[in-house]
Structure formats: structure tokens, C-alpha cells
Amino acid sequence: MKKKKILLDLDGTIIDSSKGIFASLNYAMKEMNRNPLDLKTLKSFIGPPLVESFIKTGMTEEEAKEAVDHYRTLYKKEGMYQVRPYADIEEVLTQLAQNHELLIATSKPEFFAVKIIDHLNYTKFFDGIYGADLEGIRSDKKAVIHDTLKAEKVEDLSTVVMIGDRAHDITGAKENKIDSIGVLYGFGDKDELIQAGAQKVVNKPIELLEVFQ
């Protein structure tokens, strides 16, 4: 297969980061004098920009930004290191990196993404790590992918594919006119990914190797 630039989401695609994220979210809710979030709502936070998700719980934009500050207080301290790579993902990255160029494209702030990838000793697999900024100016996946393509000076969009577990990964890819693959082992579901327009859907990380043979 022709060499590809493979953009990978982080949370729900490479790592199960739910433990640290959920703890940090409910810490923020407590600091905002709100009730803890149920599991379904907690899961909905993984992927989209945090401010957007806090607003959906009934907060004003100003309150949501304050909640994000509280979230990051605990997340910086311990939450970001409470991650577990998915089964076989290290083997998948090892093999894909031999024939393709791998890049992280995440809605998580780039500051955190770099530290997590380094913590896992996965930096060697990636030619670049791109994420949101801490100010929330570049926060949605469309913007992250756009800036990734720009930074990498991509001219031929047919050589690029986005892999992610949520609808915003797929729609962000579509809005940047690149192909996408949805993964079902993360935090999204098949209907969500298909409706968003994923060209392919895989059940397990190891199946990604078949896609790029």
C-alpha cells in the first residue's frame, strides 16, 4: 500500500483514559457545587471540547470555563497519568510506523497529549503530536486536523486518513476532505460512527493492520 499519513485520536483510540478523566470531571463538578455526573454523561465528555460538554450539563459559558480550570487542576496532578493502552495497540503502532507516517490529532490539549505519549514511551512511533490549545481557540477536531495538515504541509489529501472513536473525529475528517476509520473499542458506537460518515469501522486495534496492508 502507498505510504499514508495516519492521524490518530488519543483518548478512546490509543488509550483508555476514562479513570483519570472521570475523576477530574467529578472533581470539577464538586468544586462548582454541582451533583456528580452519571456514567453515561461522563462518557459523553470524552472526545468533544470540555467547555462545550460542561455547557450541555446546564452551565453558562463562563461557568463552563471555570469548571475546565478545576478539571485541569486535578488532571495535571494525577488524572493524565491514569491511562491504559488498549490491547495490542503497541504492536499496531510498531507495525504501522514501519510503512506509514503516524501523527496524533486530538481534541485534548497538546500540552497533555505530549506528556501522556512520552509517559507511555510511545513518542518513537509518531512524527508529530497535534492537539487543542489550552486557551480553547483551537479546540474542535476540524480545527486540529486543519492545523495538523497545514503544519505537515500536506498537498495530497488522498494520502491522509483519520482514525478515531467518536463522531467528531469522523466529521472533522470529512470537513477537511480526508478519509476516516472509526474504532468500536473506544467510547463511541457503530451507529454514531457510520452516521458521521466513517468509510470503515473496526472492532479491535489489531484489525487496523488489515486495513493498511
| Residues 82-131 pLDDT 10s | 999 999 999 999 999 999 999 999 999 999 999 999 999 999 999 999 99
Which residue shows C-alpha cell 495530497?
156
At CB < 8 A and 24+ separation, what contacts does 52-60 make? 52/139, 54/28, 57/29, 59/32
Cell of 145: 486536523
Instruction: Give the span between the Cα atoms of 164 and 46, in whole angstroms.
Output: 12
Positions in the chain whose pLDDT score sits under 70 = none
- Report the pLDDT value the prediction gives residue 45, as an integer from 0 to 100: 93
Largest CA distance in the chain: 54
- Report the pLDDT value the prediction gives residue 83, as an integer from 0 to 100: 96
Nearest to 172, CA basis, from 48, 35, 57: 48
Residue 213 to residues 1, 35, 95, 207, Cα–Cα distance (Å): 6, 48, 10, 10
- Report the pLDDT value the prediction gives residue 1, as an integer from 0 to 100: 72
- Report the pLDDT value the prediction gives residue 73, as an integer from 0 to 100: 96
